[in-house]
Amino acid sequence: MVNQITPVNPVSLNSTLEATQNGSKIDTFSDFLKEAFNKVNDLQLTAMKNDQKLVTGEIDDINQVMIDAAKADIALQLTIQIKNKVLEAYQEIMRMPL
């Protein structure tokens, strides 16, 4: 049986901030980063749990396992790229003459 593909809703920074502020107030940029890192970690943990369930036979739907793994991989790659850009910016600032 073929299941219908559900559309992915785009997430913008403003909607993420508003959603998080409704649930719990974000005071600083570091709070926003912590929340983002926690979401990436949750995606990684979900993918790992689904992998374990697939191996043990608890999950029959390999499609969901693959989708969760892809989400976790994309989130991790984005996090790494953001880290690299932040480090590049820091290094550029440190090279500036006073």
Burial class (CB in 10 A: 0-12, 13-18, 19+), 9: exposed
User: In Å, how far are 27, 77, 83, 85 from 80, measured between CA atoms?
Assistant: 24, 5, 5, 9
Give the CA diameter of the chain.
Answer: 66
Band (28; pLDDT cuts 50, 70, 90): confident
Please, what is the angle between helix 29-56 and helix 13-23, to 10°?
90
* Predicted TM-score of the model (pTM): 0.65
Q: Where are the domains of the chain?
A: 27-59, 60-97
**Average pLDDT, integer, range 36-65:** 93
Cβ neighbour number for residue 50 with a 10 Å cutoff? 21
